[in-house]
Chain A
Amino acid sequence: MINQLLVQGVQMLLVLALAPLLTGVVRKVKARLTRRRGASVFQPYRDLRRLLAKEVVLADNASWLFRVAPYLIFACTWVAACLVPTFATGLIFSWSGDLIAITALLGTARFLLALAGMDIGTSFGGIGASREVMIASLAEPTMLMIAVSLALIAGSTQLSSIAAFMLHFGSLRVTLALSLVAFIIVAVAENSRIPVDNPATHLELTMVHEAMVLEYSGRHLAMIELAAAVQLLLYVSAIACLFLPWGLATNGAGIDAYAIGVVAYLAKLTVGAVALGVFETSVAKMRVFRVPNFLGAALMLGLLGVLLLFVSRGM
């Protein structure tokens, strides 16, 4: 019990501590690939510290929702991230939510963020929110279809159980390949990455996430940036634990297994960050109305995976 609680606590803090670093590494990779020197991988930490120390400039007509939303968004995202096994399965709180609940918790965060974007009543906030919900209306069903596929294979929607199943009985399946592709597309879209959105832009009509948070400053902006970093880490961790579960320490393993788990996790994160950086550098940003085709393909892949499983359990 104490052991489990400890593992859970360490994972929670690890997620929070590593999230800005992951964002920093992705930025560094992208900078190097475009032959720039780039900021240090620790720059996101410095940004957060600076933002936290600054005063908040709040629009005159901002409501309480605008001020509360950043904290709630961060809390929802972090709680969702705490339910994803990173280096060890058997999280003590994992039974308080499954993959569907994690998707829905991220949905809660997005709901609040979209509302916060509309609170001031600027056109940028509105455009960001409206596009965000359009993207989410395709990405969220895709996530649910992936959850259904994985649940049909592993017999459970709990991430810990799925990871344990994949670790011991995982085999190559058509559905898993379809789900992985769909999951990656959703991850790219939900984390506002190229080709769906560009995290580095301002003042472009194509922007989605940045448009919603345009009015935020100071500690509020810090919370939103941290939440975005945690969300990116969550998706990379989820892909790692669902599709590449090697090295995960199982419940009640020895200290060496945990050490292997941590090293494997860090390695997976690095691979994920580099892959994301390479992917983002090598594709161009899409027009906003190309995005539904891109995400619709993911939805169809997810649905196809589920249908295959309903037709034949072996696929």
Chain B
Amino acid sequence: MIVALLLCVTALLALSIAAVPLAAQPAGRPVIYGACLGITSVAALLAVVTIAARPTAVILPLGLPWLGAHFRLDALAAFFLLVVNLGAAAASLYAIGYARHGHAPHRVLPFYPAFLGAMNLVVLAADAYSFLLAWEFMSLASWALVVAQHRDPENIRAGFIYIVMASFGTLALLLGFGLLAGADGGYDFATMRLAHLTPVLATVVLVLTLIGAGSKAGLVPLHVWLPLAHPAAPSHVSALMSGVMTKVAVYAFIRIVFDLLGPPQWWQAVVVLALGGATAALGVLYAILQRDLKRLLAYSTVENIGIIFIGLGLALAFQANHFPAGAALALTAALFHAFNHMLFKSLLFFGAGAVLNATGERNLEHLGGLIHRMPRTAFLFLVGCGAIAALPPLNGFVSEWLTFQAILIRPDLPEWGLKIAVPAAGALLALAAALAAACFVRAFGIGFLGRPRSAAAANAHEVDRFSLAAMGIVAALCLLAGLVPGAMIDLLAPVVRVVTGTGLAAQLSVPWLSIVPNAEAHNSYNGLLIFLFIAAVTWLTVLAIHRFASQSLRRGPAWDCGFPDPRPITQYTADSFAQPIRRVFGTVVFGTHEVVTMPPPGDVSAARIRKIVPDPIWDFLYAPLAGALNWTTQLLNYLQFLTIRRYLSLVFIALILLLIAVALWQ
């Protein structure tokens, strides 16, 4: 199996090279994306069947000569390969139609299969060298896709910040692996697993992993690149970056912290829970203030990563307290949410891409009324909004419900830090869930409902069949995972068993397809039954009312309390919709405020209101950091213009200092 998967990766890489000449041909695009669709579908199928299989490994004579390239396929890797390849297959199908309208295909096509291959390689790698190589390759390929539309200076800036953050993250991971490998340099994962680090070193590795994997995933405060870079790429690549690449980062975190690092300490869980909670709440607050639809979705990715990390933090807390059943439940919730997020975030980015295609607009303030012009896209986007807002019976609700069950499963943890951190994370999760609903009411309500706010929105057209098919398949999967969550939990059982040593009880055998994750408390949820109830009640009510009451209908102008104004400008805007939440939460969290300029009586100049939304993380963390860096480089700039004698003396002084350092170390 692993050989077949490696062949898939090789095929993707070969495709990437073949794309260089093919990109110039008009027929090249469907061929490349079609081939990607085929290869990733095969890989996804292979991944599904290998989840329950025994781990397989292979060592190829590549990379470092004394190490070789280790690849290993266990249940954890297989699950993430499923996430990667399912998302990639959907994005490729979407791209067959979407990319027809793309500019400069030669800047996208060669990098796209390479990006897919690199993500697969990261998950398959089983030694630090191949892992980091694949990781960096993934970063670079996605960077090339981010700057594909390079005429926009915003995209260039996004690309710059992304490459800086990505390199920084890889550096952190490199140091982390260095510590894990120890002085003897055991760089394959099997050796690392056996080594036992001192608590101090384990903490350093955890922090480095949080920086390395967390920056790729978008943990606050390392998220700043994400809302810039994800929207800058073409929409199918945005879907991949948000839906899939962040999951590869989650995989890296689980692999290093749960698998390689050994038994966790309880306060590590507190750190992860705090970061996860802060990420969830801040991410959604940022999202709700955005006008740009794709940037809104990118910030919502930050939120969902927070939810996943809350689950991971809970799993760490239970593992530290030797409670594998709880860890299994929490990890199931986190992985289920990772899978769900891949589905609905892809769907939403596809929808945003469709809107972008149809109108040329990403700004919500210029959209509106698209439900009439693009009914199918609107319906599918609505499904995605419902799923991400955790509405039953869709899939987003199930994973959040499972996370709550994990919070409730063992309240009497002995450590004080956890006694505070667990309920606090629960409260932040609840807040994030409610705000996400508000955020997506806004996104759908302003973007698709109401009256068109621009000529482009008024003349929008429905997108092509491929895009609709991709969105339809993903939306169906969202519904399916919500109706039969037991199947997904059973699929996850071997994965969770690899990490925690125990899995949840089989759920598909529970009567009526309910899920009962915590058999002791017998808390259960049945998405299928709730869906059938709602469908039946709706259908019967409609039938009864139309049969026995009235079915007459008259169209007329809107009522609007008697004073309808036909101009679209009288509608609520995206900014005005967010105003109550901006005022309630934004003033506290970000320090948002409004500046009202009201001319005195008699003055006929226009009154103005300006909203100011500062970003404290940028202002207080990154801006000083960048300033300090600039200042230091200015100082060091002096070193560039020295004479040869001074250079030689500098080298000599450096050598002496190093020798002294070594002498003191011994």
Contact = CB atoms under 8 A, between A and B. Distances in A.
Chain B associates with chain A: yes
Given A71-B542, A72-B538, A107-B391, A58 B555 contact: yes
Contact of B427 (A63, A125, A145, A288): A145
B581 A140 contact: no
Interface in A178-231: 202-203, 214-215, 217-219, 223
Interface string B407-420: 11001100000011
B386 A148 contact: no
A100 B430 CA distance: 10
A79 B533 contact: yes
Contacts of A138: 434, 584
A121 B450 contact: yes
How many of chain A's residues touch chain B, expressed as a range? 35 or more
Contacts, number: 277
Contacts of B509: none
Interface stretch (B336-344, B345-353, B519-527, B642-650): B519-527
A57 B430 CA distance: 39
Contact of A141 (B389, B434, B524): B434
B537 A137 contact: no
B560 A123 contact: yes
Interface of B, helix, strand, loop or mixed by DSSP: helix
Interface stretch (B117-125, B207-215, B305-313, B440-448): B440-448
B600 interface: no
Most buried by A among B420, B554, B559: B559
Contacts of B558: 59-61, 120-122, 215
Contacts of A133: 437-438, 441-442, 580-581
A214 B579 CA distance: 21
A79 B6 CA distance: 49
Interface stretch (A28-36, A232-240, A278-286, A305-313): A305-313
Interface in A290-312: 292, 299, 303, 306-307, 309-311
A98 B445 contact: no
B583 A100 contact: no
Contacts of B440: 111
Nearest to B418: A310
B368 A121 contact: yes
B524 A98 contact: yes
B420 A310 contact: yes
Interface stretch (B143-151, B242-250, B568-576): B568-576
Contacts of B456: none
Interface stretch (B232-240, B545-553, B623-631): B545-553
B91 to A, nearest CB: 27
B3 interface: no
Given A59-B556, A98-B523, A121-B568, A136 B438 contact: yes
Interface string B576-607: 11111101110000000000000000000000
Interface in A81-98: 82, 93, 95-98
5 contacts: A60-B558, A74-B541, A95-B522, A96-B525, A114-B441
The 10 closest A-B pairs by CB, nearest first: A126-B572, A121-B450, A141-B430, A118-B445, A133-B438, A134-B580, A96-B526, A140-B434, A55-B552, A144-B430
